Amino acid sequence: MSDLKKTRRPSAEEEQQGLNMSGSFSKVLDLSSEDPHSAGIKPITFVRQVAAGCVYPRILQGDALPPDARLRAQKLLSHFDGGSVGSYTETCGSMHVRNTIAKSVSLRDGGVQSSPEQVFITVDTQRALMVMLRLLCQSEGVCAVMIPDPAPHTLTRLLDRMGVVPVTYQLREQSGWSFERAALNRSIQASRGRCFPRAIYISNPGNPTGHVQSRESIQHVIRFAADEELFLLVDEESVLDVYQDTVFADGSEFVSYKRVLAEMGEPYSDGVQLASLHSLSNGIMGECGFRTGYMELVNVDEAVMLYAEVLLTGDLCPPVIGQITLDVMADPPHPGEPSYSLYTRVLYSDFFRQV
């Protein structure tokens, strides 16, 4: 298999084979868009309550919403110009929401520092990836990015649109969709003389495989990136511990690339550049229509981060409703608060029963 092959769409005959199974089916769900709400998954109540209070502030004057949802909506509105979701925020998102995300990331990573100045709220992860690819593919030559096989179905199309060559490395299904350092070495060696890999893309938890990388596996990737001077583009669709603890396989534990990078110490902790990506579309929220995500840049020069902000100015600002949802995702109801019981029940019972 060529390391530079392009992923093709299965033929109509191949797709039909998946339907020619014994037994009868009353309905076929198309989940290729990774849109859980379109498949019937219900939204999380607290998210919609806070959003409703922000969109229609008059509802905050009564008792239609629980007290903690009203307080959250009021607090968020106080950080928007004119107290309205109809106003623009900063180009990279509301600093209040970026602070909330940074605190959540630091908590997730066992106290590893996270700065809101390094958090960029974007129009979903696709926009963040486009910005990073523009930053990485400035020099002459054919720019390439190492990507897994299988990979997210939107990734190869984005690379093709950006004129970036995919250099694939194989995931091994028989070993839980893991990969070895030797496979990475073979892939990058095969690309020599034809293109110039600038980054390696990782999906953790894996998309579409669902596998979770071990700490040891992450360390191998970080060392490989350091040896080959590659930028790490890591799509980490999990911030909430409740999602990590419930969805993943027995014996697996989610740990972020940023945390492992920090714990490895020098020369990795301050030398390997990383962009950690997250989206409302995948993760526990599944709010694809809100079209919002964020990326955190680690070990990236301030001048480069400023240029990233310049590239994002064309968007004016990310969707404000999406920013509100990011705030709830990063800081959900806490034990003892009025909405905590319903929130956890929706996640542990209703949501996963529907899944």
Distances (CA, A) of 18 to 14, 36, 99, 172: 7, 20, 46, 22
How far the first Cα of the chain sits from its last, in Å, is 35
pLDDT tens per residue across span 235-270: 987 544 434 444 456 667 889 999 999 999 999 999
What pLDDT does 280 receive? 85
pLDDT tens per residue across span 51-69: 999 999 999 999 999 999 9
Angle at Cα 82 formed by Cα 79 and Cα 83, nearest 5°? 50
Q: What are the DSSP E strand ranges found in the chain?
A: 119-122, 143-149, 165-170, 196-203, 231-235, 274-279, 293-298
What pLDDT does 6 receive? 46
- What element of type H or E holds 63? none
For 141, phi and psi rounded to 5 degrees?
100, 170
pLDDT tens per residue across span 158-200: 999 999 999 999 888 887 788 788 889 999 999 998 999 999 9
In the structure encoding, which two tokens stand for residue 57, read together?
């502030």
What pLDDT does 23 receive? 56
345 confidence band (pLDDT: 50, 70, 90): confident
Range from 20-34, 109-123, 306-320 that averages highest in pLDDT:
109-123
